[in-house]
Amino acid sequence: MAKKILIIDDEPDMVTFLSTLLEDSGYDIVTASDGDEGLMKIKSEKPDLVSLDLLMPNKTGIKMFRELRKDPEITSIPVVMVTGFATDDTPNMDFKKWIHERSIRPPEAYIEKPVDKDALLKEVKRILGQ
Amino acid sequence: MLKNAVNFVKKFTRSLSFKLSFYAGLVMFLALLAFSYHTISSQEAGLIKKMIQDSIKDSEVIKAAIWNGMMKKERGVIRQIINAIGKTEGFKEINIYDDKGFLHYTTSQSSAALPIDMSNDPFLSDLRVNTSNRHKLSGDGHILTVLNPLINTQSCSSAACHAHPESEKILGAVELKIGLDTIRREISQNSYKTVIFATALFVVVCTISGAAVLLFVNPSIKNLQRKAFKMARGEYVPRAPTIGKDEIAELGRAFDSMSVQINQHTAEIESSRRMYKALFEEVPCYLTVIDRDFKIIRSNRSFKAEFGDNVGQHCFKGYKNRTSKCNNCPVEKTFYDGVSHQSEETWNINGHKCHVIVKTSPIFDEKGSVIQVLEMAMDVTLLKRLQFRIQQKQEEYQYLFENVPCYLTVVDSDFKIVRANNLFTRDFGFGEGLRCFEVYKKAGHKCDNCPVEKTFHDGQSHFSEEVWRKNGEDTYIIVYTSPVMDDKGEIISVMEMSTNITEIKMLQGELAVLGETIAGMSHSIKNILAGLQGGVYVLDSGLSRGRDDRIKAGWAMVKNNVEKISDLVKGILYASKQREPEYKNYELSNLLVEVCDLFEAKARDEGVELIRNFEKEICTCLIDPGGIHSALSNLVSNAIHACRSEDSETAHQVVVSGRLENGGLVIEVSDNGIGMSEEVSQNLFTKFFSTKGSHGTGLGLVITRKVIREHGGSIRVESEFGRGSKFIVEIPCRETST
């Protein structure tokens, strides 16, 4: 049975691109355009993996990620964090470090925009153990 | 010869040794005489007294003999005894009187018949009544007469022979006359001996003391005398210490020490005299001493070299070749009041016009009246010339200081402005007495990193860049400081030069913006490229799988990102002045409505309430609607973004307000979003920032500011981190023109 991936991103272009890419690679795709909808879909769809955009309206990616990790029901779901920030350019916004300083488990993978197709697929496969 | 002798005697009698020995001998001589006189006198008295006692005893013996003879009626025996005694050495006479003063018996050789009436003798006058022994001295003290009365006894009155009646108390008297020649001779002999001895003693004492003085005192005194004469000639220098312990040696030593001191003082006086002489002669000004007749009585070398040896001439003649005294003569004044005077004069020396300072000082005599005046004249022509040149330079510097095209102030260590140049006075008002930070920055305390303070501390020049807020606009200033030192090299004040570098700063800022814009732009382009890549992938996937929905979606993505590129290019054109503003008469409220309409949907999507806080009609004026539209769009977009980025659950609002104030447009865009740190708000307009990642081009505020400045307006921000921001745009409302 095909693994289910939830794509959470406020940019429709990104959603289209990621869902096309992952669908073509044989995954079932569910999408959400903000944090609240994302949390709802996680609970209703029970995806095997979540691709989460960092900056979004109605709960930013970080805020949503924190809630996901705090909820014992869904805390085990692996997360690929998709970020538009190049951490080298904006060292003040080093959110990876910020997340690691918190007491919650960090995301399973980080993918930076622009998304490298092969790198994303490789990470997804690794996380899902394929 | 005689004269010589008289002189010698005179000299001798005046000599100390003569006086000392003579008076010592004389005192000794007189003392001895007085002592001898006293001794001899008392000796004489003693001898006479003894003689009297002996005589009384003898008279008692005679009385006894008389009594015996009377009683035995042997008058011959009486005569024998008396004669025997009378022949003893010294006895002159023995007389016996009856009670009536008749001499009945005598040992004297006179042959007169006895009895002889002697009652007239005053010595015998009280014969009948006086029962006591008595004596007298007569014949110049050479004869002692002793009278011993014969007292009636019972045997006499009761004897059978004849009756001496009992009533008679005194029957007669025995008188003894004794020669004192022997005693007198002895005494006078003693006196002679004493005088001889005293004279001899006088001579001996005189000789010995005279010799002692000659031997012990005279040489030392002569020596001292010699030294004193030498000292008076200025030749004496004590070589060996004076030996001895007596007073003369002490005197010698005192003299030596005195001479040493005198020599020393003399040397000092001499050297200072030489020094003053040299000073007088060599001092580089004209010195003359002038008497009450205004005649030169002394002059120094400088004077002689310049004016010739004019001693004896009148000063006005000597100095100025005048025939009468000058008006306003300082010498005259000094003679009059006894204090220094000074005058400045122009003289003709060797055909040159010279500036001379003349100073006079009084010279007093011992009574304190002015007898002469010292006149000192100094040629200060060169000094005057230098003074003039300094004044010229000073004026030049003054001109430079006043007219240099930057703000120039001189500040003291208390930061108070001591001097300011024209430009400063024009732009800030005259700030003297105020502190620099009060004037430049309207601040109540000194600035951090103050270059004035640093210069006071290390004496080096410093500079700093400052931002002055003037009329709401930031003015960038570069401040240079330099120390102003006094002649001892101590920093007394600091010169502060401030140059307006706003234009340069703006260019610099734009350059920085350009650099950062390129960085930001490449970021945006990267995002757009990613979108394009995604679109192309989706389009490819749709084409290869024959899925129309994907073809549509992919194509839409491509189109969307191409549009983004177009926006970006427009932004760049705005920022790089490529776009010329197009001014039109436009109602501001219409513009605000348009912007709000544009963001209404987005704000709703983000959960932000967009509040329109303006009247339907504000003002119609000449603006570039396109430019203002994009500027305001930027501000509103930023405000909504700031609300979106804020974590808390508060209801977010963006308020857009517009009004006419003091003839200008005031537009405010405020939010209660995340706000900005001070660092961010300070650098907002000078540095390029984007906090929006892939969503921002980083050009928004640069374009906004550019547009507002083109309108002659200004933009500022009030912001507090966590509380929200307020952007205030002020644009002058320009008159409608055709």
Min Cα distance B531 → chain A (Å) is 7
Q: Does A7 touch chain B (CB under 8 A)?
A: no
B689 and B509 Cβ atoms separated by less than 8 Å: no
Average pLDDT over chain B, rounded to an integer: 83
How far does CA B498 lie from the centroid of its chain? 45
State the Cα–Cα distance between residues B284 and B300, nearest whole angstrom. Answer: 10
Average pLDDT estimate for B181-207? 86
Domain range B283-385, its CATH number among 3.40.50.150, 3.40.50.10470, 3.90.1150.10, 3.30.450.20: 3.30.450.20
Mutation to test the A interface, candidates B522, B541, B555, most A Cβ within 10 Å: B541
Please state, in angstroms and as integers, the Cα–Cα distance from residue B257 to each residue in B15, B261, B266, B618, following that order: 27, 6, 14, 114
- Do the beta carbons of residue B632 and residue B595 sit within 8 Å? yes
> Which of these CATH numbers, 2.40.110.10, 3.40.50.2300, 3.10.20.30, 3.40.50.10740, describes A4-128?
3.40.50.2300
Q: Which amino acid is at B617?
A: E
Task: Tell me the per-residue pLDDT of B68-94, one tens digit each, with 9 for 90 and over.
Answer: 887 787 777 778 888 888 888 788 888
CA distance, residue B596 to nearest chain A CA (Å): 20
Residues B129 and B151: beta-carbon distance below 8 Å: no
Mean pLDDT over all residues of chain A?
82
Task: Give yes or no for A55 touching B (CB within 8 A).
Answer: yes
B626 contact A CB<8A: no
Of the pLDDT bands very low, low, confident and very high (cuts 50, 70, 90), residue B232 is confident
Whether the pLDDT of residue B737 is over 60: the answer is no
Q: What gap in Å lies between CA B733 and CA B707, rounded to an integer?
A: 15
Judge: A55–B695 Cβ closer than 8 Å, yes or no: yes
| Chain A residues close to B541, C-beta within 8 Å | 20, 24
Tokens matching residue B40: 């001899």
- pLDDT of B472: 62
Specify the higher pLDDT residue, B573 or A104: A104
Cα B447 to chain centroid distance, Å, stands at 42
Residues of A in contact with B695 (CB under 8 A): 55
Q: Reading across the β-sheet that carries A79-83, which strands appear in turn?
A: A28-32, A4-8, A49-53, A79-83, A109-112
**What pLDDT sits at residue A89?**
43
Residues 6+ apart with CB under 8 A from B459: B483, B485, B491
Instruction: Name which CATH class applies to B404-500.
Output: alpha beta
Which of A83-87, B266-270, B405-409 is least confident?
Answer: A83-87
Architecture of domain B11-236: 2-Layer Sandwich (3.30)
d(CA B148, CA B133): 5
Question: Do B11-236 and B283-385 have matching folds?
Answer: yes
Please classify residue B454 by burial: count the beta carbons closer than 10 Å to its beta carbon, then call 0-12 exposed, 13-18 middle and 19+ buried. Answer: middle
Does the CB of B557 have a partner CB in chain A at under 8 Å?
A: yes
Whole-Å CA distances, B297 to B287, B338, B342, B670, B689:
11, 19, 20, 99, 94
Structural domain spans, chain A: 4-128
Strand, coil or helix: B85: helix
Mean pLDDT of the B578-604 span: 83
Tell me the pLDDT tens digit for each residue of B508-523.
777 776 676 676 677 6
Please name the amino acid found at residue B354.
C
Confidence of residue B539 (pLDDT cuts 50, 70, 90): very high
- Which chain A residues touch B537 with a CB distance below 8 Å? 17, 20-21, 117
Residue A21: φ, ψ to 5°: -60, -50
C-alpha A109/C-alpha A82 separation (Å) is 9
Question: For a pLDDT cut of 70, what percent of chain B falls above it?
Answer: 91
- HEC profile of B548-605: HHHHHHHHHHHHHHHHHHHHHHHHHHHHCCCCCCCCEEEEHHHHHHHHHHHHHHHHHH
State the average pLDDT over residues B480-499. 89
| Position A87 confidence tier, pLDDT thresholds 50, 70, 90 | very low
Going edge to edge, which strands form the sheet with B417-420? Answer: B417-420, B407-411, B491-500, B473-485, B462-470
Selected for mutation to probe chain A from B538, B551, B652, B677 (highest A CB count within 10 Å) is B538
Q: Is B464 on the interface with A (CB under 8 A)?
A: no
Query: Mean pLDDT across the stretch A62-90?
Result: 78
Between residues 15 and 34 of chain A, which touch chain B (CB distance below 8 Å)? 16-18, 20-21, 24
How many Å apart are CA A61 and CA A9, to the nearest integer?
9
Bridging pattern class, strands B652-661 and B608-614: parallel
Q: Which of B530, B553, B557 sits opposite A114 (nearest CB)?
A: B530
Band the pLDDT of A5: cuts 50, 70, 90.
Answer: very high
Residue B345's DSSP bridge partners are B356
- Where are chain B's structural domains? 11-236, 283-385, 404-500, 507-575, 584-732
Instruction: Please state whether the peptide bond connecting residue B115 to the residue before it is cis, i.e. omega within 30 degrees of 0.
Output: yes
- Choose between B307 and B360: higher pLDDT: B360
* Interchain proximity B693–A57, CB inside 8 Å: no
Q: Tell me the C-alpha distance between B364 and B635, whole Å.
A: 95
pLDDT of residue B683: 61
Q: Which of B526, B530, B647 sits opposite A63 (nearest CB)?
A: B647
The answer for residues whose C-beta is within 8 angstroms of residue B538's C-beta and 6 or more apart is A16, A17, A20, B550, B553, B554, B557
Q: Which of B517, B522, B523 to mutate against chain A (most A CBs within 10 Å)? A: B523
B644 lies within 8 A of chain A by CB: yes
CB contact under 8 A, A113 and B527: yes
3-state percent breakdown (helix, strand, coil) of chain A, nearest 5: 45, 20, 40
Residue B738 has pLDDT above 50, yes or no: no
* Helix (H) or strand (E) segment spanning residue B473: strand B473-485
Check if the beta carbon of residue B85 is closer than 8 Å to that of residue B77.
Answer: no
Asked whether B318 and B312 are in contact (CB, 8 A), the reply is: no
Residue in A16, A55, A115 nearest the CB of B693: A55
Residue A56 structure tokens? 């979004």
One-letter amino acid for residue B127 of the chain: L
Contact with chain B for residue A95, Cβ under 8 A? no
CA-based nearest residue to B494, from B465, B463, B467: B463
Residues of chain A with C-beta less than 8 angstroms from the C-beta of B607: 57-58
**CB atoms B519 and A57 under 8 Å:** no
Banded pLDDT at B668 (limits 50, 70, 90)? very high
pLDDT digits (tens, 9 = 90+) for B320-330: 888 888 888 88
- B694 neighbourhood in chain A, CB within 8 Å: 55, 84, 113
pLDDT tier for residue B687 given thresholds of 50, 70 and 90: very low
Report the gap between the CA of B693 and the closest CA in chain A (Å): 6
The reply to whether residue B541 touches residue A89, judged by beta carbons under 8 angstroms, is no
pLDDT higher than threshold 80 for residue A20: yes
Alpha carbon distance B90, B398 (integer Å): 141
In terms of CATH, what superfamily is B584-732?
Answer: Histidine kinase-like ATPase, C-terminal domain (3.30.565.10)
pLDDT of residue B372: 92
Which residues from B are below 8 Å from A14, CB to CB?
531, 534
Quote the CA–CA distance of B373 and B292 in Å, as a whole number.
8
